[in-house]
Structures are given as structure tokens and as C-alpha cells.
Structure 1
Amino acid sequence: MVTPLSAWPWESLGAYKYLLYGPLVAQAVYTVIIDGESKGKSYFWGLHLLILWTIRYFIFSLSSSLANMLFINHGRRINHEGVDFKQNDLEWDWDNFLILQALMASIAYYTFPSLQGLPLWNTGGLITALVLHMGVSEPLYYWIHRCTHAKQALFRDYHSLHHGSPVPQPSTAGNATFLEHLILTAVMGVPMLGPCLLLKNGSLGLIYCYITTFDSLRCLGHCNIEVIPHQLFQAFPFLRHLIYTPTYHSLHHTEMNTNLCLFMPLYDAVGNTLNARSWLLHKQISSKSGCHEERAPDFVFLAHVVDFSSSMHAPFVWRSFASKPFTVRFFQIPCLPFAFGMMLAMWAWGKTFTNSFYNLRGRLHHTWVVPRFGFQYFLQFAAEGINQQIEEAILKADRLGVKVVSLAALNKNEALNGGGALFVSKHEGLKVRVVHGNTLTAAVILNCIPKDVEEVLLTGATSKLGRAIALYLCRKRVRVLMLTQSVERFQKVQKEAPLDCQGYLVQVTKYQSARNCKTWIIGKLTAPEEQNWAPEGTHFHQFVVPPIAPFRKDCTYGGLAGMRLPADVEGLGCCEYTMDRGVVHACHAGGVVHLLEGWTHHEVGPVDIDRIDLVWEAAIRHGLRPVFG
């Protein structure tokens, strides 16, 4: 049985809950177009609410973005754990309280006629609101909050949801039960309704200022990065009792019976619930000292942006969106011009940035992103700049003490840098191991091909991966139709095969040659008309980036080669491109295996066919599981 007032009334509506804004929108449209011309500006209440609530969404969204920009705030993070999928799901409906307060504000407007004639500004009302907040709202919230921690039943039934998030985030501020937000709405209402209803010195400006400031301070306390300099409190000691800091509030989430105030530590001091470590810890983090210095990762996956749409699939853009496999969504369309502008800025900035991280068996794994988009890798004039950025990232990892750097798809392009061989030959003294991960990628693709297959079509057949797949299959006595126009490149691969296996490698120049072959391995873009030559029931395995679109309804399409990370991975909260939760590309997993095995060689250049089974067995032994496509 659900505890009364713990669940939200519209919990079962899912995304349809936003239809509850419908009456508010209708009210705004009606007032503006039909009924508002002869009345004061405060009569546009519905419009003001829509504007204000848009600002509130923006405050929480911007705060969340800033909190997850690891590349600018990594040294000031308070809790160094990652936000995992469990926390993402727990806070999915963090904005329920915005709907609640919008509905209650609409009701209040028609309940209290004095709200229907508010001026734009009244300084006296602002002073009154400050007094009411400090003298009524702050102690009222402190007392109620203390009760929820003192009474086990109250904490279990109502407040434990908020504390279910191990890493404070701006969305954590909104993640609470229905009853808690009813109380919080009343706490917020005192400083606004007091001037408006009792003293008659309220204003629209007061409502805007108070609500946006309230939200900003809530986001500040939950942002998990320390932004207030400790020098401020050293110069003005009294301020530490008037305004809390992110560090101060973070202690409440680790030592829950301390630091219970709303925004003013004064009430914790009076109530004897002030955490003794508050100011020392704040100084340590603010000055980047002591144990809170950023730990260097053991492993780095050097990724890149695929296209404009996928550039928005990052935790610092939309954390909830990034926690699900990437697909193009309608809400991205208005943001494409912004993404284009960001591309230009990233291109000019030219430095890799940290996008996400997770822990695996005590080893810290980072994803660094080269600020280049997929199409840029095919511009000849851009090659030198891209290689320079990859090289700088490898050298930075070497300086930090990173053990393994794994290169994502285009960052190890053969034509670009020989699968990473360029950097290894240029810097012979590298301590960090550079890994292209193609050995495990080849292993995943090969192990998802049915054992009884006798013939396959292979496109991209003379590429690094194509070569490895062809040579491995011919050793297994599988006939490989290698689609390539170059006789020279085909013969080069064929000569690498054992003499008794070379006959299993067959050069073809047209897709028609595979019209009776039901196993296609796609290593380069294949147009719909070319897919048409596949017989009914064909399965398309693929290692091309981006993957080909599923055109044939009578055929099946595999995804990119991937592996599921072991169950003991911690702090992973975003999906890697189109991969499912907890699944990474095989080249990423190849670097992980390299680290876990402690191998000391670089994995660059051509794939060593003799190591394919060895790497595969190591991956399985360490708990990685293939995602067969």
C-alpha cells in the first residue's frame, strides 16, 4: 500500500503529464488575444507563469549542464563518484514540483483577487519578503526538515527518496515526494503571499526575483561543485552563517543529521546541527588542496563526435537523454543551430575534454572526446590538425600516468595515422599503451557469425578490420567474397593467408556476386540499391561507422560490435552512442581488457590474427559479454 501523499497524482501519466500545462497555455492565449487589452499587465497571469516556468526549467537545465562539465570543474567536484543509471532513473521526474507549483499558482490567482492588480515593482515588498524568508521560511523549513530526519517513519515514507541519490545534482533538488513539495511550496509562498495579500506591497517583480533566486540557490546547493571561494568567508566571516555552499549541503547527504538548513547555516548553528567539518572541507575543495585533488585515470577512451545530432548526446547537455541509447529526437531539431555553433567553437578551441567516467575494479576509466565531427575526418586539409589533437591527448595521458589509451573508430583511421602507429613510432618512450582495440572488434564480429557458415560477403575487405576478418575466416575454411576493385590490395591480403587457405579468398567487384550469399559483413557504406542484391533472409553484420540504415524489411541488421561491461562497474550513467546501457564499443572494450590483463605492448597497426582468440578469451574471463548483432 502506498503511503498517503508520497506518490504524485500524475505518476501514471508518464510524458503525458505535460498536458497538465494545457489549461495554463489556454488561459495565457485567451487573455493575451481576447481579454487582456484593457487590463493591467498583472492580468496576463497565465503568460507570466509560462515565462517564469520556462526560466525555471532553464535554471535547472543550465545548472545540470555546468555540474556535468567535467572538463572545466573536475578539480572542484565534491563527491567524486559518477552519476549512474540508477540515479538517472530515480530522478527522471524531478520536474514534477514545477507542474505542482504552476497549478497552485493558477489557483491562487483566482482565489485571491489582490493578485490580479499587482504593479511591476515595489521595493518595499522585496524588503518584506526578505524579512519573511529569514524570519519565517528558514526556521519553518529547518524545523520540518529536522523532524523528517528525527522520525524514522517520516524519513522512510517521505524523505528517503530525496536521499536515494548518492551524488547530489540540480535535479536531486527537485526529486522528492508529493507531500514534501506541498510543504516546500508553502515555505516558498510565505515571502511572496505575505507582501501581496497582507501588506499590499507585493509586485510581479518580487515573484520573479524570489522564485528564480530560490531555484538558483537550490541548484547551487546540489551542484556537487564548489563555486564559492573560501577567501570570501575569510574576508567577511559573518557571511558563512547567511549563505550555504555546495560543500556545506553535500555534507548533509553524507552525514544526514547535520546541515539541515534551507539556505542559511545560522539555523544549524542555533539548533546545534552544524557539521564541524563544514568550513574546513569548503576551504580544502575551494583551494583544490588535500585529498580532493582529481585522481588521474588508469584508462582513457579517446572518442570523437559523430554528427550534429549525436553531439547533444552528452551528460553535460541532457543527462537524461544521454542515459539512453542515442536516437534522433524531435526536440533536438530547434537545437541544431546551437550545435553547429558549438562545433565551430570546439574546432577553434581544439582541445580534448572529459565527457564521462566510471570505475571498474578500483580503476578509473575516462572518456575523452576529440572536438571534431565525423565528416571532418574525411577532409584532407583537416588531417594534420586532427592528428595533432590525438597526439596531444596521448602525451597528456602519458604525463598524468594513464596506463592505456584506446582509440575510437575514426581516431585510429588507417589513412589518418596507421591505426595509431604514427604516434608510437614518433614517441618511442611512451609509458602509456596505445590500443586501437580492433583485435577484440574482429573477435566479436567473428564470434557472432554462425559456426556452420560456408560463405560470406565482406565489404571494406582490405581495411584493417576487413583484412583480419578475411584471414581468420579463410583459416576456418570459410569462403570469403572480398568486395574490392583493387587487384593489388586483394593479392596483398591473400598472400598473408596460409598457402592451403588462399583459395578461400575470392575477389569480387560487384554486389551481384553475392546474390546467393546470406551472410554479409559490411565494412563500408552500402546504398539501398546495393543491399537489394542480398537474398531474402540475409543478415547484415557490420563494422562501418556510422552503421548502415536498415532498408530491407525481409533481412536482419546487426549493430556495431559491442561488449557489455562486467556487473561490478560503478558510476556509469551514459550510453555510448547507440549502444545499450552498460555496453561499450568493442574497441573500447579492447582497451579495457588490455588494462585488466596488464599487457605492456602497444596494439597499433595491423591486427595480429594469432591474438584474436587470445583477446577474446581474456575478455570473457574478465566478465565482459558480447552483444551479438
Structure 2
Amino acid sequence: MVSILFAWPWEKLGPFKYLIYGPFLAKALYSRIQEVNMKNTWCLHILIICLLRACMYQLWASFNNMLFLNRNRWILKQGVDFKQIDKEWDWDNFLILQALMASMACYVFPFLSNLPYWDPRSFIVAIILHMGISEPIYYWAHRGFHGNYLFTHYHSLHHSSPVLHPFTAGSASFLEHLVLSGVIGIPLLGTCLIGCGSISMIYGYVLMFDLMRCLGHCNVEIAPHQLFEKFPFLKYLVYTPTYHNLHHTEMDTNYCLFMPLYDALGNTLNSKSWELHKKNRSNSGKNWRVPDFVFLAHVVDLTSALHSPFVFRSFSSVPFTYKIFLIPFLPFIFVLMLAAWAKSKTCLMYFYSLRGRLHQTWVVPRFGFQYFLPFAREGINKHIEEAILRADRLGVKVLSLAALNKNEALNGGGTLFVDKHPNLRVRVVHGNTLTAAVILNEIEEDVKEVFLTGATSKLGRAIALYLSTRRVKILMLTISTERFQKIQKEAPAEFQKYLVQVTKYQAAKDCKTWIVGKPITPREQSWAPPRTHYHQFVVPPILPLRRDCTYGDLAAMRLPDDVQGLGYCEYTMERGVVHACHAGGVVHSLEGWAHHEVGPIDVDRIDLVWRAALKHGLKPVSTLKPKKM
């Protein structure tokens, strides 16, 4: 049974909890419309402060997750997983609570509605009250919450997050935030009761309080150790991320709010605090582990750029879908596109560990449509080549190319780079062998005829050759007789008759199994008979326009259950699911294969790669009945 005052009163409201702000907005609008002098604007100020505070935490969260900027300064070298993200999903509950408490204070003390905008004395008094009252009260209250009963029933939630994150600061029980609200309210109310309060002081103190909370719960050490060496007294006036992180890793030390002075007075100061802080700062740039495997991805379209982990953590932890709230960010996305166009290096997006091996995802700063611009191809290949050479210098063992990064017209499925740099130590992998295996696994054994678009691509060729050996008739859509005949000749003589060239979609009007390897229009889809299933390996996936047909997802596999630190959904994939080309690189790394997987798919290795994937715990995600391979 949940303890009293542990759960939040609006916990069951879900996203509708934000309607609690409705009366504040209504009162602010009423004051604006009806009241001439606009003296009673406290509701408006509460809304503005809540908005600014939410932005403060979001900006700190974005900075914390910008691995391409601060990965070498992370205190704990592990990612935030889905479990922690879900646990901290409602981190902003305390903003609603403190908004309600502020409104109650304005009703009890009417003079708060008529504070001046500026009074220099208010800042001095607020600082004195904070240092002399709020800090010691918080210190002793915090120590109290580490007692057996309070910790077990209340404070353990906050400490259950293994990796500190700005949102961790808001992840706590209702009772804890009631106490914290009192701590933050003492300097504010005290200053006003003394008679020298001001609106600017309220804004300044609250936002500075949040800034310091975010600083302490940030997993990035940003405070230079030279500052504390030059001014030793600062060690007792302001804490650091390393200082507060020690409280979470070695409890019963470092209880202070922001000032280690009270830990020193209470004999709870961790002796390693400053030594560890100096070590974290001194080793900046040296202490990041070289990944064993890198997946080189790309941005699909403009709006999906907001699915990055450093933008909205909660949004990136669920499969990407187009949301209304993305619309106001479209100008930002456009600027981001221009910045990405000028950027010359790949960005580290996220990482996870599997079987003791570090896996990273790097992103080429290019959007999907740019890959189809003839004048942009050389620049894109240059980016990919630089990423491969960088991985080679670092000692990365395997680098896998995402869909458009291995486009045949762009670089021959990675062949361009392997031929240009024959002495690469890093293995370049397009992952298409496993992609083909996933698609083939979805096709039921009793299928006798298949319609295949993108038939002469790497995947189309491999799928056609493989299915022909199962005596499945493949209607290969292509206008190039030369390319068709080339593929047909690769099949054993006895199976060549199962490969049939077609040039129009009408040829598939009686075929209920389509494998789509290139975009198709609604009219082209209309030629499929009812109850057709569309398998696909086209990026982006085709639109599900036919209600009388079913549509498969892009080829994908679920990572093994022992994956650690994964908190990001790969584009439209579910949690823990990655594209098959990504999974193909994972298998290549886990198997320790020493060959490059570039160029045409080796059809004879499809079953081998599939069995290796299953052996290592990767699982197919298709809802169709899988066949045995």
C-alpha cells in the first residue's frame, strides 16, 4: 500500500493535469480584459514563472543529453534507460504544486499582489534568509528523509534513478516536495513580510534555485577545478555535479541543498568530493571509452530531427509520430537544417552497452531529401568517409551504415570506401544481409508468388535469388531487361524460370504478397488485390492507404534483453527495437567477423546471419508467423 502523501493528488489525471493551470490563465485573462489598473496580476506572474522554470529544466536536460558536446565530461558513463525515463515522466508535478501554494499565499497575504517590480534590498535579504534558514532546514530535513522509515516509504523513489539527470531533481514524492516548497518559500515570503519584497526578487530567486538544482543533478561536470583552487572558500558556498553525485552513489554524505558548508558543520562531507571533482575535470577528453560498434545513421526528415534525445527526452523515448506540438518548432527545425548543412562532422546521438561492449549511434548531419540531390552526393560521401576514418583511428571494430548512407547510387553500398581505403581496421557493414533475412522470415512458407519492386537493388536481388530456390515465382518489376537478366543468370539454371520480369503494376493484380523496395503511389497500390500484405524495405515507409490490405513495418529486430542504458527509440521503431541494418552490425560485432559486408549481398550467408542473430538473443518483431530458416 502506498504511504500517505507519497502519491500526487493529480496522478490519475495523466496529461490532463495541465488543466490545473486553467484557472490561472482564466484569471489572468479576466484581469487583462476587465481590470483597468492591472494590479491583480499575480496569476499571470505565476504562469510566467512556471513556464520559465519548465524551460530551465528542459534546457538543462537538452545540454545534459548533448553527447556530441559533453560526452567526455559525463560523471557516470552510462545512459538513462527507459525504466528511469518512465519513472521520471511526471518530473514537473512540483511546478503545479508550487503554483497552487503560491496562489494560496497571495490569498492569505493580499499585499503580495501589489509588490513593486524592483527593490535592491530584496535580493540581499533573500540571500541572507536562504543561507541562514533554508539551507540548514533543508540539510536536517534531508538527513531525516534518509532515516529508515522515511527513506523506505518516500525518499527511495528519488534515489532509484541510477544516473542523475536534471529531471531527476523533480522526481520525488508529494511529501518531499511539500517540504522543498517550504524551503523555497521561506526566503520569498520572509523578504515580503519584512517589507522589502519585489517581483524581480521572486523571479530571480526561484529561477536561481532551479538553476542550482539542475546543476547538481546534471551528469556533466562543468565547474572548473582551478576556480576552487584559486578561491578555496567557494568549496563551502556552492556544490558541483560531482559533489551531489556522490550523495547518490555513496549515501549518508553530502546532504546539503547548495552549500557544502552545512555538510562540513554536520560532519557529513564526503572527503573525496573535491579530489574526485578535480579528477573528472582533469580527465575531460580522456576518459571516454572507445565504442566497439558504431551505427552511422541520418535524419529522415525535418520534423523527425526533434526526435533526437537532446531535444525532448520523453518524446524520443517513444516511437516517432507526427505531433501537433511540433508545429511551433518548424522554424527551429529549418535553422537546424541550415546548421546541419554547414556542419562537417558526425554527431554522437546516443549509446548503450551489450554484453560488455559499448555501442554508439553517430548521425551524419544531413536530411533524407538531401541524399537525392545530385550536387549533394559528393559532400555526403565525404561525411561518411570521414566518419569511417575517424572510427578507424579510434579503434572501433565495426561500423554499420544506415539506409541512405549505403545507397547504391551514392557509394555502392559502402564499396567506395572499402576500395579507397583497403587497409581499414574497422569493418564496414551495410547490414543488408540481416535485413533480407528478416524480410524473408516474414514470408509464409505456403506463398507461391511474390510481386517485388526495387527488384534490381541489393535487397531486391538477394530476396529474388533466395526465393527462387524455394520455387516461389517472383514478379520482378523493372524496365531494365539487362539488369534483370544479369540477376536471373546468377540463379542456378533449374530456378531461373521462377524469376519473371514485369514492367507494370497491373501484372500483380492477382498477387497478394508484395515486397516493396521503392516508393509507390496510391494508384500503384490500387492494383493490389484485397487482403494483400505489403512487406517493405523502402525508406521512408509507404503510406498505408488501403484499408483492405495489411502493411508490414520496416525490417527490424528487438535487441537482447540484457541491453543496458538504452532510452531512445530508433525513429518509428518500438522500444528496444532497431532497424535490421543496425541489428546486422550488432551481430557482425558480436560474432567478431573480420570481413567487410559491402556491395552485393552474399545470398549464401543469409541463413548464417539469421541463425547468428537468434543465437545472440535478437528477436524478430513481425506479427506474422515466422518460417524456419
TM-score (norm 1): 0.98
* Structure 1 residue 47 displacement after superposition: 1.2
Q: Who is 2:626 aligned against?
A: none
Distance 2:462 2:303 in 1: 32
Q: What SS does the aligned partner of 2:553 have? A: coil
Residues 1:125 and 2:119 are matched in the alignment: no
1:33 aligned partner: 33
Question: 1:159 aligns to what SS in structure 2?
Answer: helix
SS in 1 for 2:543: coil
- The one-character-per-residue Cα deviations of 1:412-455 (angstroms, maximum 9, x if unpaired) are 00000000000000001100000000000000000110011000
Letter in 2 for 1:257: D
1:265-344 → structure 2 map (5 Å cutoff): 265-288=260-283, 293-344=287-338
Q: Which residue of 2 aligns with 1:467?
A: 461
How far, CA to CA, are the matches of 2:344 and 2:27 in structure 1? 48
How far is the alpha carbon of 1:212 from its aligned partner? 0.3
Aligned match of 2:239 in 240, 244, 258?
244
- The answer as to 2:407 corresponding to 1:413 is yes
- Equivalent of 2:96 in 86, 95, 99: 99
| Alignment-derived partner of residue 140 in structure 2 | 143
Residues 414 and 428, structure 2, Cα contact 8 Å, conserved in 1: yes
Cα offset, 1:256, TM superposition: 1.3
Q: Deviations over 1:497-549 (max 9, x none)?
A: 11111110001111111111110000000111111111111100000000001
> Residue 535 of structure 2 is aligned with which of 531, 538, 541?
541
Shift of 1:278: 0.4
Matched residue type, 2:168? T
Asked whether 1:226 is paired with 2:221, we answer yes
CA-based RMSD of the aligned residues comes to 0.9
- For 2:57, the aligned partner's letter is F
Post-superposition Cα deviations, 1:38-92, rounded to whole Å, max 9, x if no partner, equal 244xx21111111111111110000000000000001100011110000000000
Any stretches of 5+ residues in structure 2 without a counterpart?
624-629
Partner residue, 1:73: 70
- The letter for the 1-side match of 2:218 is C
Q: State which of 358, 366, 383 in structure 1 corresponds to 2:352.
A: 358
Superposed CA offset, 1:117-142 (max 9, x none): 10001111111110100000000000
Q: Residue 265 of structure 1 aligns to which amino acid in structure 2? A: P
1:110 to 2:107 alignment: yes
- Aligned-partner residue type, residue 175 of structure 1: S
CA distance in 1, matches of 2:329, 2:88: 24
2:14 aligned partner = 14
* Equivalent residues of 2:32, 2:38 under 8 A apart: no
Measured against aligned partners, the alpha-carbon deviations of 1:290-311 in whole angstroms (never above 9, x if no partner) come to 9x70011000000000001110
TM superposition shift of 1:159: 0.3
**Counterpart residue number, 1:4:** 4
- Aligned partners of 1:31, 1:350: CA distance in 2, in Å? 52
* Alignment partners' CA distance in 2, 1:163 and 1:595: 35
Change (3 A) 1:6 1:356: same
SS of equivalent to 1:160: helix
2:142 and 2:55 mapped to 1: Cα distance? 27
Q: Residue type of the partner of 1:485?
A: I
Q: Quick one: distance in 1 between partners of 2:269 and 2:37?
A: 54
Matches within 5 A, 1:565-604: 565-604=559-598
Contact 2:516 2:537 in 1 (8 A): yes
Shift of 1:286: 1.2
CA offset digits 1:247-293 (Å, max 9, x no partner): 10011110111111000000011111111110011001112269x70
Within the candidate set 184, 187, 192, 2:188 is matched to 192
- 1:169 maps to 165
Secondary structure, in 3 states, of the residue corresponding to 1:297?
A: coil
1:495 positional shift: 1.0
Structure-1 residue corresponding to 2:205: 210
Q: How does 1:346-495 map to 2 (within 5 A)?
A: 346-495=340-489
Query: Alpha-carbon deviations, 1:140-182, whole Å to 9, x = none?
Result: 0000000111x21100111011011100000000000001001
Q: Structure 2: how far apart are the matches of 1:408 and 1:236?
A: 50
State whether residues 300 and 368 of structure 2, in contact with CA within 8 Å, keep that contact through their aligned partners in structure 1: yes
Would the aligned equivalents of 2:351 and 2:359 in 1 still touch at CA under 8 Å?
A: yes
Q: Distance in 2 between matches of 1:576 and 1:624?
A: 16
Does structure 1 conserve the Cα–Cα contact (< 8 Å) formed by 2:242 and 2:273? yes
Distance 1:387 1:289, change over 3 A: closer
Measured against aligned partners, the alpha-carbon deviations of 1:389-424 in whole angstroms (never above 9, x if no partner) come to 000000000011000000000000000000000000
In 2: Cα distance, 1:376 partner to 1:589 partner: 25
Q: CA deviation at 1:350?
A: 2.1
What is the identity, as a one-letter code, of the residue corresponding to 1:19?
L
Q: Does 1:623 align with 2:622?
A: no
**1:304-338 C-alpha deviation (Å, 9 max, x unpaired):** 00001110001100110000011011110110110
* Aligned-partner residue type, residue 72 of structure 1: L
Structure 1 distance, partners of 2:471, 2:148, is 68
Distance 1:373 1:117 in 2: 52
Per-residue CA deviations over 1:346-380 (Å, capped at 9, x if unaligned) read 11112100000000000000000000000000000
Cα deviation, 1:90-122, whole Å, max 9, x if unaligned, reads 000000000111111111111101202100011
Task: Return the TM-score normalized by structure 2.
Answer: 0.98
* Mapped contact 2:31–2:38 kept (Cα < 8 A): no
Measure the CA separation in 1 of the matches of 2:79 and 2:2. Answer: 31
Match of 1:51 in 2: 48
Aligned-pair identity (%): 68
Residue 384 of structure 1 aligns to a residue whose secondary structure is helix
SS at match of 1:584: strand
The answer to whether the 8 Å contact 2:299/2:366 transfers is: yes
Distance in 2 of aligned mates of 1:50 and 1:217? 21
